Each structure stands twice: as structure tokens, then as C-alpha cells.
Amino acid sequence: MLTRRFMQLDVFADQPMLGNPLAVVIDAQGIDDAAMQAFARWTNLSETTFLLPPTSPEADYRVRIFTPRQELPFAGHPSVGSAYAAIETGLVDAGKTALVQECAAGLLPVRVEGVGAARRIHVQAPPAQIHAIDESLRRQLAVALPAPLGPDDVRLVDNGPHWLVCDLRDAAAVRALQPDLAAVAALCGHNAAVGVSVFGRETDGTAAMAVRAFCPADGIPEDPVTGSANAAIMAWLGQREDTVYGTHYRASQGREVGRDGLVDVARDVSTGAVTIGGACALTVRGQLFL
């Protein structure tokens, strides 16, 4: 039997029971791919991560990221939470403010602000590729959500996972959605997308943007708070030279599933690099027996 250190965190929240839960296996050496996938399926969280020694001399740690059904090259809240766990467990020096995460998407810079409960982790997302979609898919998405979607309201964004991103303009429209999840799952499956993300302008003062992400094809009807989707949105805003949100804003996600979370999203104007970040709350610390 293998014994490993284990944590469960709530990411993009400063207190337990909010944000997006993440399971982290700290000392994952010796756990094979099948066991990692089986454990991720057992936790039934949107993602479970496994921390390993880096294979690159430039990296501080390596992470593998699994949904209940597949391994992902990159995901936002698992990257933020894994960095937090690596610091908390001493895998990396707690005094370092700049880290490098190794994952299947490459080497990603990580910035650490504050200490203890005040610590905030910011992870640079992989560069995004942004693609227009065809008219047939746009019409099918409009019916599945349902929502009015014009030709300029939808893009396929690849920043590791593939996201179908929809601009609904207004937060009220985002929060009122009741999508046909079977139809969304079919569209994602046919287009190799992990999910559909929607966003709109928020005016209640807590955040600049309301976001929701639906991933039923991956066994997650609605993901509570999604770093890669927020990074995909910002990448698209940058490409279209958006002037509504600016180069740094806070996004609200998870309210509709009782997991209210906040994501700080930023874009470097000179390089186009997108970072997503926020707080983490340690909820479970213990040992895992496999």
C-alpha cells in the first residue's frame, strides 16, 4: 500500500466551502497513470492534481492534472491550488515569490504574493490560439444555451484545453442561463472542447465580469470557478482590443452553484501574456492510502 500526503483546497476563495475544490496528492512518485485517473474519478471533483519532482532544471515542481475522465495539459484552478500546496508542504521554499510550474503545457511562471492566509497565487496561462467557428455551430450553441449569439459573440479558444467562449454582454443574461446540458455535451464532444464558457459585464460592484462554465461532456455539469476559461476570455478580449474590461479585472464565478469565487485576471500589453490568480483556503490535510 502506498501512503501519500494529501490536501483538499478551495481555490479562488479565502474561506472553505467557496471557490472550486481541488484534490492534491503531494508525493505522487510511483503512482501510475491508471491509478491517477482512477483516483481522479473517485474524488469526482472537476480536477485532481499530482505533484512530482520536475524534469526540467528550470522548474520548481511538476504537476499532472486529471478530470474524472481525462488528463489535461493545463487548467487554471489546479495550477493555482497546486502552487499553494507545494508551498504549504515545503516542496518549494515558502519565501520564494517567483516559481516555475512544469506541466504538460510547458513551463509556466507563477507569482506569489503575501504569506499564510493572505497568500495569493498568480499563474501565467499558456499562449492561446483563437479561432472563429462556423455558422452551424454558432446556431447550435445559441439553441443549447439558449442565448442570442451573433457571429462576433463566439470563439473557440485553445490554451491547453479547448473552450467554446460566448460573450453574452450582460451579467444578468449569464446568471439566468439554464442550458440544455445534453446538447452542450454533444457539441463539446463533436468539437473536442472541454466546455462552454459564457461571460457578461457585471455592475454590482463585487466584480467587473460574471462568468459561468459548463463541462457536461467531462462529467462536470457546471464548473464552480474556472481559471483556464477566465484566461481564455482575457486572451480573446486582448485579440479584439476590447476597451470595456481593460487589462486587469476581477471575475465572479460559481454563485449559481453555491461556490462563489473571485478570479483576478490580467494581460500584459507588451507580450499578451495572461495570468489568473486568487486566494486558496486549506480545507483538508491528511494521508492518502492507495
Judge whether 287 and 141 are in contact, CB under 8 Å: no
Q: What distance in Å separates the CA atoms of residue 167 and residue 30, rounded to the nearest whole number?
A: 43
Judge whether 279 and 14 are in contact, CB under 8 Å: yes
What DSSP string describes 89-117?
TTSS-TT-SEEEEEETTEEEEEEEESSGG
Residue 54: phi and psi, rounded to 5, are -70, 155
Instruction: Please say if 47 is a catalytic residue.
Output: yes
Radius of gyration of the chain (CA): 18
Q: Map residue 138 onto helix, strand or coil.
A: helix
HEC readout, 6-59: EEEEEECCCCCCCCEEEEEECCCCCCCHHHHHHHHHHHCCCCEEEEECCCCCCC
Strands 129-131 and 120-124 come out as unpaired
Residue 38 neighbours by CB under 8 Å, 6+ apart: none
Q: What distance in Å separates the CA atoms of residue 150 and residue 148, rounded to the nearest whole number?
A: 7
Instruction: Determine which one of 47, 88, 102, 202 is catalytic.
Output: 47
Judge whether 175 and 206 are in contact, CB under 8 Å: no
CA distances from 209 to 170, 254, 271 (A): 9, 12, 23
List residues with catalytic annotation.
47
